[in-house]
Amino acid sequence: EFSSPVRLPCQHNYCRECIQNHKTCPVCGTAVDGEVCPDNLLSFLIDTSHETAD
C-alpha cells in the first residue's frame, strides 16, 4: 500500500518508508537531501480512492 506519500525535489513520489534510506531518487538519480515534503494532494487522492473502493 502506498502510504505517507512524499515528493522528492525531482518531483517523483514515494511512500516515506520506501525512500527514507535512499540518498538518490531511484528513477532519475537526483540527490535526496534528507528532507522530503509530504504530498498532501496525493495523500488526499489515495484516501479518496480507498473510500470509493469500500
Q: For residue 45, which amino acid is it? A: L
Please give the pLDDT value at position 3. Answer: 84
Query: Could you tell me the pLDDT band of residue 4, with boundaries at 50, 70 and 90?
Result: very high
The Cα–Cα gap between 14 and 27 comes to 11
Query: Could you tell me the pLDDT band of residue 13, with boundaries at 50, 70 and 90?
Result: very high
- Is 36:16 a contact under the CB 8 Å cutoff? yes
**Longest C-alpha distance within the chain, in Å?**
38
Please give the pLDDT value at position 25. Answer: 96
Please give the pLDDT value at position 14. Answer: 95
Domain boundaries, the chain: 5-53
Q: Please tell me which residue, 2 or 45, carries the higher pLDDT value.
A: 45
Measuring CA to CA, which residue among 15, 20, 19, 13 is closest to residue 4?
A: 15
The pLDDT tens digits for 22-52 are: 999 999 999 998 778 999 999 999 989 877 8
